[in-house]
Chain A
Amino acid sequence: METRQGNVAVEMTVNGEPMVGIAEPRTLLSDFLRHGLGMTGTHVGCEQGVCGACTVLIDGQPARSCLTFAVQAEGCRVDTVEGMAEGGALSDVQEAFRAEHGLQCGFCTPGFLAATEALLAENPDPTDDEIRDYLSGNICRCTGYQGIIAAVRRAAQTRKAASA
């Protein structure tokens, strides 16, 4: 049986790179990323699972990093907003959010981007209803959501065109 007490080294692959940081068992993945690894792109809003700002991908699946202990993600692949832009160029999803005004203050955006990546991986051509349903766990206090829905639609189209 593996046992962790006090400070221990935790290893995971973040945005494709093997990383090691120090965590207590109680360290949330959100805090591990932000404080342990200095990757502050993942935002923390409510810390109780309600707002979705902290959403990241764990082994390709969407997860609230505030409802996951870092030790639970040991050995897993974690993808955050920092891994999206390549060489300074926005990813297709990021570009679509920019083009459609899918953000204003940007606090919720890393979570929406991660959720959108998960949605498009599962359903490359979602209807508006499916987009709304999928993103229902993410809260935005600025945009009124219309721009976000349009951005996801645009990202889906861009991706479809690129793969055609």
Chain B
Amino acid sequence: MKPAQFDYLRPGSLAEAIEALGANPDSKVLAGGQSLIPMMNMRLARPSALVDIGRIDGLAGISANGSLRVGATTRQAEVLADATVQRRWPLITAALRHVGHPATRARGTFGGSIAHAEPAAELPAAMLALDAAFTVHRPGGTRTVAATDFFLGHYTTVLAEDELLGHVDVPALGGSHWAFAEVARRHGDYALTGVAVRLTPDADGVVTDARVALFAVSSRPVRSAAAERLLVGTRVGDAEAATAAGKVALDDIEVAEDSFVSATYRTEATAAIVRRALLEAATNPKGEN
């Protein structure tokens, strides 16, 4: 099918983009188009105008000092190929390998994947596990939103219609253990369940802080408070703790059921991959500082 008609706006600056979004009710941001255009082709989305942010200077790029900054329109392929990200934030590299295919990653953007808030998407969960912060541009200024506060539900975030995700900041990962695991029907498909893990150890290898971020289990990416609580005080790589954390991971989380799998399947598969990820975290090479 073909998309319905719309006006195409290509702002040259962030300020113009914000103005265009405000002035055109029912408009949408166009970034890589790899989620929006399929929805428009199927007429699941019919925006009256698209604001193409793909050519705004300064909105794309990767920089790393203590922390990592990724501009919203940076292509997923570029982040995946980035040597600094591979060395210092390998959790992001691992997550990106599962996002679509080379041709969708060459156009799809880092920020688009986050703003789209598909519950089965990999990057949002990676952002939760890494305590990322999102800088949002709005009329008259910016605001910063923690990843934990950003995702509200299916394809829904705290972004207002005239707001734009500008860039993402990720604190250093060095010294923490990490792992990423998912179950999908084929490589590159959206996950049926998945998890991103980060464990901060003390000098004796005992977990002092844990992040267990689940995706494709519910209407939005969520941290498992139960699993995180259980892991603090255990040893990194402890098999019993890993099994127990997998079992409680979905306590207090409403598990989704869909045309692919039942809630029971999801719960059991989630327990298995949380366990697997926690064991892998002990052996995955840690990110460098």
Shortest distance between the CB of B14 and any CB in chain A (Å)? 12
The prevalent SS among residues of A at the interface is mixed
Are the CB atoms of B101 and A28 closer together than 8 Å? Answer: no
- Considering the chains assembled together, what is the distance between the CA atoms of A68 and B102 in angstroms? 15
Are the CB atoms of B2 and A63 closer together than 8 Å? Answer: no
A120 within 8 A of B: no
- Considering the chains assembled together, what is the distance between the CA atoms of A136 and B3 in angstroms? 26
- Considering the chains assembled together, what is the distance between the CA atoms of A34 and B103 in angstroms? 20
Are the CB atoms of B8 and A61 closer together than 8 Å? Answer: no
Are the CB atoms of B102 and A115 closer together than 8 Å? Answer: yes
Among A52, A58, A68, A119, contact of B37 (Cβ-Cβ < 8 Å): A68
Are the CB atoms of B188 and A137 closer together than 8 Å? Answer: yes
Among A25, A72, A118, A136, contact of B7 (Cβ-Cβ < 8 Å): A25
A55 within 8 A of B: yes
Within 8 A of A (CB), among B1-41: 1-12, 16, 20, 30, 33-34, 37-38, 40-41
Q: Which one of A2-10, A86-94, A145-153 contacts B?
A: A2-10
A24 within 8 A of B: yes
The chain B residue with its CB closest to the CB of A133 is: B187
Shortest distance between the CB of B289 and any CB in chain A (Å)? 29
A47 within 8 A of B: yes
Are the CB atoms of B103 and A137 closer together than 8 Å? Answer: yes
The chain A residue with its CB closest to the CB of B34 is: A67
A64 within 8 A of B: yes
Are the CB atoms of B6 and A72 closer together than 8 Å? Answer: no
Among B1, B4, B101, contact of A52 (Cβ-Cβ < 8 Å): B101
Interface size class of B (residues with CB under 8 A): 35 or more
B50 within 8 A of A: yes
Are the CB atoms of A63 and B10 closer together than 8 Å? Answer: no
- Considering the chains assembled together, what is the distance between the CA atoms of A136 and B186 in angstroms? 9
- Considering the chains assembled together, what is the distance between the CA atoms of A2 and B8 in angstroms? 8
B161 within 8 A of A: no
A68 / chain B contacts, CB cutoff of 8 Å: 33, 37, 107
Among B7, B33, B107, contact of A4 (Cβ-Cβ < 8 Å): B7
Are the CB atoms of A49 and B8 closer together than 8 Å? Answer: no
Interface size class of A (residues with CB under 8 A): 20 to 34
Are the CB atoms of B102 and A118 closer together than 8 Å? Answer: yes
A62 within 8 A of B: yes
A71 / chain B contacts, CB cutoff of 8 Å: 8, 10, 52
Are the CB atoms of A64 and B104 closer together than 8 Å? Answer: yes
Among A4, A47, A62, A138, contact of B106 (Cβ-Cβ < 8 Å): A62
A26 within 8 A of B: yes
Do A25 and B50 contact each other (CB < 8 Å), given the known contacts A1-B11, A4-B8, A52-B101? yes
A48 within 8 A of B: yes
A115 / chain B contacts, CB cutoff of 8 Å: 102-103
- Considering the chains assembled together, what is the distance between the CA atoms of A100 and B220 in angstroms? 46
A24 / chain B contacts, CB cutoff of 8 Å: 5
The chain B residue with its CB closest to the CB of A137 is: B101
B237 within 8 A of A: no
B221 within 8 A of A: no
A118 / chain B contacts, CB cutoff of 8 Å: 102-103, 106
A66 within 8 A of B: yes
A137 / chain B contacts, CB cutoff of 8 Å: 100-104, 188
Are the CB atoms of A67 and B9 closer together than 8 Å? Answer: no
B9 / chain A contacts, CB cutoff of 8 Å: 1-4
Do A69 and B102 contact each other (CB < 8 Å), given the known contacts A25-B7, A26-B3, A136-B188? no
- Considering the chains assembled together, what is the distance between the CA atoms of A138 and B102 in angstroms? 10
6 further A-B contacts with Cβ under 8 Å, apart from A28-B41, A63-B107, are A28-B2, A49-B37, A63-B103, A72-B33, A118-B103, A136-B187
* 6 A-B interface contacts by CB (under 8 A): A2-B10, A58-B107, A64-B107, A67-B33, A67-B107, A137-B101
Interface residues of B (CB under 8 A from A): 1-12, 16, 20, 30, 33-34, 37-38, 40-42, 50, 52, 54, 77, 100-104, 106-107, 186-188
Interface residues of A (CB under 8 A from B): 1-5, 24-26, 28, 31, 47-49, 52, 55, 58, 61-64, 66-69, 71-72, 115, 118-119, 133-134, 136-138
